[in-house]
Structure 1
């Protein structure tokens, strides 16, 4: 049920326990500020489990981003939904040493295309903190446009609407 997606450089795969330490380190750090963090360990664990549980509940969720060349995990890309999200949301997180190399764009594009073409989603947005300029630029590189009329997950979020591929 959970897809394994491949791009030129990346493998997008199901989260595993070996991914937890790096995920937790990010979520407990100041780098999680644009996602509502930093979080406590119990909250980060709940988020990690939530990312996996969504596959069972909604037929989509999070995938870890791994390099095909080395097998190193670089972060996560996912589709969020449920009572906390007004619409299906495409989100991404990268570990600090993986930033600036185009990995998030490559992974997000692959999952976005899967969401529209395979999963059949009708709409997809990204909720982005107004101060998160890197994520704003990434959404724009993906072709997403600001939708000021759309409700955000948080009232201060910018909502970027993704085009169908």
Structure 2
């Protein structure tokens, strides 16, 4: 679970099907992301659970800390056709304008850099979705090119985050000590594991040599 000042983010589950369908039933929302029937939502949530199990990341439910209300979804979705991980967000229209999308998406982006071995993340935004464009800009993403998703009627602009190293430097310069400390500890643990692996390999080699000599 990821916690921010106002939000709780947890993996989406099949049990969220009714809230998921209701979220996408609003024409203001499904204008850019589409609507779901109950069965389509069940299939989508099943694949979300599978991705969490297989890859360790996926879409999250966004809930208000104040009352536990489900207000949308956000998360990191792997696209096999691109071999890239997309940062996406979809919130109830009634909650727009309060900064929830930026808050949730930034938390996911920081979590992704700190947890996953991905050099960068993308976002796919449909033409005319100016609200999502503003969120992407606040997150420091930059537009790259137009992509075609599921046919010519589904064009979208591919936005890309800064590489991991640049995001780390920005966090340091911005004084985000918690994110920096997490990144530093994770990096040191990686180095420690590699040193142990090298030492273990050298020990095995020395043991084999001694064995052959005796």
Superposed counterparts of 1:61-140, under 5 Å = 61-140=58-137
Contact 2:25 2:36 in 1 (8 A): yes
2:34 is aligned with 1:23: no
RCO (CA 8 Å, sep 6+): is it higher in 1 or 2?
Answer: 1
Alpha carbons of structure 1 residues 26 and 157: separation in structure 2 relative to 1, 3 Å: same
Whole-angstrom distance in 2 between the partners of 1:17 and 1:46: 9
For the residue of structure 1 that corresponds to 2:67, the secondary structure is: coil
Corresponding position of 2:188: none
Whole-angstrom distance in 2 between the partners of 1:21 and 1:138: 27
Please report how far the alpha carbon of residue 23 of structure 1 lies from its aligned counterpart in structure 2 after TM superposition: 1.0
Contact 1:146 1:161 in 2 (8 A): yes
Whole-angstrom distance in 2 between the partners of 1:129 and 1:14: 25
TM-score if structure 1 supplies the norm length?
0.86
Contact 2:120 2:161 in 1 (8 A): yes
For the residue of structure 1 that corresponds to 2:118, the secondary structure is: coil
Corresponding position of 1:32: 30
Whole-angstrom distance in 2 between the partners of 1:112 and 1:60: 12
Please report how far the alpha carbon of residue 40 of structure 1 lies from its aligned counterpart in structure 2 after TM superposition: 2.9
2:191 is aligned with 1:157: no
Contact 1:128 1:158 in 2 (8 A): yes
Contact 2:121 2:160 in 1 (8 A): yes
2:53 is aligned with 1:56: yes
Please report how far the alpha carbon of residue 152 of structure 1 lies from its aligned counterpart in structure 2 after TM superposition: 5.3
Normalized per residue, which structure has more helix? Answer: 2
Corresponding position of 2:41: 44
Mark the runs of 5 or more structure 1 residues left unpaired by the alignment. none
Please report how far the alpha carbon of residue 21 of structure 1 lies from its aligned counterpart in structure 2 after TM superposition: 1.3
Mark the runs of 5 or more structure 2 residues left unpaired by the alignment. 168-214
